Amino acid sequence: MEPDRLLASARSGDDRALDDLLQWAQTYSYRVAYYVLLLHEEALEISQECAWRLFKNLEKLDPARSIGGWVRKVSYNLAMDFLRRNKKISEMAVNGHPADRQIYDERIDALERCMARLTPIQRTVISLFYTENMPIKEISELLEMAEGTVKTHLFRGREKLRKCLKESEML
């Protein structure tokens, strides 16, 4: 079931829909937070906090707006708050600190190494654009920045990825 329908059902008292909605939110939130931080444990904590906030604000959410946008926004803000509070971790994230990852095949590993070289905002824009298939307009609204700025982060991030992947002989 779609998240927006799950929200409507959960508000009507459907406990199964509520469980499914919270599970979906936690999984989705983890992906957003991980793309920003590249840190598994912290992304898990953020996803749990996001699910908790969803539960607390279930009745306050605007049914006319997408629940996906709300979860993305909360997850992104929590991840950025984490980076601001933890300057050392923020520096590691910017400089490509290897996050605890499962073993990936050679191409995925190279892509992750290259993604780690991007700034957190470039990683976020690229992941929202390519992984979430989010249009630039929605990304600009989510991140509260001009569309031109989003396009610049997307362009610069792609250029860095292209260069890095060529160096690692993956392109």
What pLDDT is recorded for position 104? 35
Q: How far apart are CA 36 and CA 94, in angstroms?
A: 10
What pLDDT is recorded for position 150? 95
What pLDDT is recorded for position 53? 95
pLDDT in tens, the chain (171 residues): 788 899 999 999 999 999 999 999 999 999 989 888 888 899 999 999 999 999 999 999 888 888 988 999 999 899 988 888 876 555 555 454 444 333 335 666 778 889 889 999 999 999 888 887 789 999 999 899 999 999 999 999 999 999 998 887 755
Write out the CATH class of domain 1-88: mainly alpha
Name the residue ranges covered by the structural domains of the chain: 1-88, 101-171
Write out the CATH class of domain 101-171: mainly alpha
Instruction: Mention every residue, 6+ apart, whose C-beta is less than 8 A from residue 89.
Output: 37, 39, 42, 82, 83, 97
Residue showing tokens 């190279």:
110
What pLDDT is recorded for position 89? 56
Check if the beta carbon of residue 150 is closer than 8 Å to that of residue 140: yes
